[in-house]
Amino acid sequence: MISLSVSDAVRHFADLLHRVRHEGEWALLTESGRPVARMLPATSAPRGADLALIWADCPHLGDEEAASFDADVAESRNKLPSLASRWD
């Protein structure tokens, strides 16, 4: 994923569009160093290298929320019927 300011994206829009559309690159557009938008191909899935950057921008659970989520998952799993075989 490339990162560039909105003003640079405007100045080099044709080149940026070519890189996104034909080379499958993703672009992170920033203003004052803060992410404001992403430009990505309309028909492609994220590449592995891009997922780490996307994940970093996502909000993360705090310790208390994570513990509560873990307890909810464990409780839900305990309510599922046991399988006679792992392959059922």
Q: What is the pLDDT of residues 6-61, one digit of tens each?
A: 999 999 999 999 999 888 889 999 999 999 999 998 876 777 777 887 888 888 88
Q: How confident is the model at residue 88 (pLDDT cuts 50, 70, 90)?
A: low
How buried is residue 26: exposed, middle or buried, by Cβ count under 10 Å (0-12/13-18/19+)?
Answer: buried
Q: Which of 53, 27, 55 is nearest to 41 (CA)?
A: 27
Residues 32/58, Cβ–Cβ less than 8 Å:
no
Q: How far apart are CA 45 and CA 43, in angstroms?
A: 7
Length in residues, the chain: 88
Contact residues for 6 (Cβ-Cβ < 8 A; gap 6+): 29, 30, 31, 36, 37
Q: Give the start-to-end residue ranges of the domains of the chain.
A: 2-78
pLDDT at site 54:
81
Predicted TM-score of the model (pTM): 0.49
Q: What is the pLDDT of residues 59-85, one digit of tens each?
A: 888 999 999 999 999 999 999 888 777
